Amino acid sequence: MNDIIKETKQLKLLYVEDNDETREITLSILKSFFKNIISALDGKDGLEKFKTNDIDIVICDINMPNMNGLDMSKEILKIDQSIPIFIVSAYNEIDLFADAIKIGIEGYIVKPLEMKQFLQVLSKCIEKIKLKKENLEYKISLEHKVQLQVDQLLHKDKLLLQNSKMAAMGEMLDIIAHQWKQPLNTISMKADLASINIREKNYNDQDILDCSEDVKYQVSYLLNTLDEFRSFFRPTKFDETVELKKLFSSIYLLLKDSLIQNEIELIVDFDDIAFKANVNEFKHLFINLINNSKDAFIKNGIKNRKIIVRATRSFGNIKIFVDDNAGGISSSIIDNIFQQNFTTKEDIGGTGIGLYMCRLIANKHNADLDVIKIDNGTRFIINIKEYIQ
């Protein structure tokens, strides 16, 4: 009994009884067990007090004005299905107890209170409340663990995206240096030639005009490529319209010198197709695929190097095919190439995040990215499930 009292002293009881005399007598007994008791005069009063207090257990009469005990219990169980509720009633109302059990009431206590039965009721309540508390603690602990895992995965993806952006930035800086080398060299040569001609007085007005126009052309080229590089690293809206032809014109401008240097022919074959997406992320995706093909051409010593990009649309889908003739991907690894940190380029510092990020970008835009082997090469397929004309 002492153990039961020790437990019940920590609980808050809602006791609902409309009869003043019965309520006072019963409360005098209940106070020996409960330190915190909220008393109510009828079912309606009991329901309101349940809503405004943190109740652990409910003991109530059946027949009460305004709202009877069964109706009040139904409403309380809608709020908290696990709350233990006990009906207190006289023997002649025992036929109502079956209905009480059906709606989820824990049990009943017969008037007047008998100590043995009452202790059994309290013991049963304590076990249920302990179980409820343990389940709640387990749920909180599980939710905490799940949240930690989610946070770790989000942080990991954030780091991967950052690493991918840094890798892309490094590649872009290499491309910038290569793209600008020739026009800057041309401007420098024109300046040297102009200086020589001025010193030797070996020039005419047309020579000056030609030199000026050539320098302006080279500067214009530098500015155009600069604008492309600047836009590549700027954040863009997710729902802007991506025009595929315009996108590949921009990509070609970025990669032109690298493609020429590595003797790669980029063939683009599709009609005007547009869809909603983040332009720079799709640039990143296609540049990654093209650079993968470039690396494969070099690694496999392919001579006649071609990358062919085709696109079709039908039944609300856009399919973009990026084919190369770089020798293909081994059957032993083709199923793994989209996995995080998987790379075949350890010798040149590959991180294994390029194709992983490509698939993430595709999935983010309601699209799939897959790969298959074709004759002497590889085909990447981007399947975009929505498009606009």
Per-residue CA distances from 129 to 81, 84, 372 (Å): 12, 8, 58
One domain for residues 278 and 349: yes
> Which CATH number covers residue 369?
3.30.565.10
Amino acid at 369: L
* 86, 113, 140 - which closes a domain: 113
One domain for residues 262 and 365: yes
Task: Quickly state the pLDDT bin for 164 (edges 50, 70, 90).
Answer: low
Q: Are 113 and 26 in contact (CB under 8 A)?
A: yes
In this structure, is residue 118 part of a structural domain?
Answer: no
User: pLDDT value at position 116?
Assistant: 67
Rounded CA-CA distance 99/81 in Å is 17
* 76, 91, 113 - which closes a domain: 113
Percentage of the chain surpassing pLDDT 70? 77
Q: Which residues contact 333 (CB under 8 A, 6 or more apart)?
A: 342, 344
One domain for residues 263 and 176: yes
**Local structure of 63: helix, strand or coil:** coil
Bond from prior residue into 112 cis (ω within 30 degrees of 0): yes
One domain for residues 191 and 43: no
pLDDT at 37 over 80: yes
Determine how many CB atoms are found less than 10 A away from the CB of residue 320. Answer: 25
Domain that holds residue 228: 169-384
Pairing status of strand 367-374 against strand 377-384 = antiparallel
Task: Quickly state the pLDDT bin for 350 (edges 50, 70, 90).
Answer: very low
Rounded CA-CA distance 110/219 in Å is 98
Nearest Cα residue to 59 out of 92, 102, 90, 27: 27
One domain for residues 192 and 85: no
Name residue, tokens 């002492």. Answer: 2
pLDDT at 322 over 90: yes
In this structure, is residue 226 part of a structural domain?
Answer: yes
User: pLDDT value at position 345?
Assistant: 55
Q: Are 255 and 293 in contact (CB under 8 A)?
A: no
> Which CATH number covers residue 91?
3.40.50.2300
* φ/ψ of residue 29, rounded to 5: -80, -45
Strand partners, 274: 243, 388
Q: Are 248 and 382 in contact (CB under 8 A)?
A: no
One domain for residues 183 and 307: yes
Q: How many CA atoms lie within 13 A of 379 on its CB side?
A: 13
Rounded CA-CA distance 281/161 in Å is 11
CA angle 365, 368, 369 (to 5 degrees): 115
One domain for residues 98 and 176: no
User: pLDDT value at position 1?
Assistant: 62
Once rounded to an integer, what is the mean pLDDT over residues 316-330?
91
One domain for residues 328 and 216: yes
In this structure, is residue 335 part of a structural domain?
Answer: yes
In this structure, is residue 380 part of a structural domain?
Answer: yes
pLDDT winner (highest mean) among 19-33, 237-251, 266-280, 318-332: 318-332
One domain for residues 173 and 108: no
In this structure, is residue 160 part of a structural domain?
Answer: no
One domain for residues 216 and 87: no
| End-to-end CA separation in angstroms for the chain | 79
- How buried is 382 (Cβ within 10 angstroms: 0-12 exposed, 13-18 middle, 19+ buried)? buried
pLDDT winner (highest mean) among 46-50, 256-260, 327-331: 46-50
pLDDT at 351 over 60: no
In this structure, is residue 22 part of a structural domain?
Answer: yes
In this structure, is residue 379 part of a structural domain?
Answer: yes
* 94, 113, 132 - which closes a domain: 113
pLDDT tens column, 172-202:
676 667 667 767 877 888 888 888 888 877 7
User: pLDDT value at position 233?
Assistant: 57
- Residue 388: DSSP 8-state: B
pLDDT at 123 over 80: no
Rounded CA-CA distance 356/338 in Å is 5
Once rounded to an integer, what is the mean pLDDT over residues 354-364?
82
- Residue 37: DSSP 8-state: E
One domain for residues 96 and 198: no
One domain for residues 209 and 66: no
Structural domain total, the chain = 2
In this structure, is residue 212 part of a structural domain?
Answer: yes
pTM of the model as a whole: 0.48
Per-residue CA distances from 99 to 42, 43, 96, 103, 201 (Å): 19, 17, 5, 7, 116
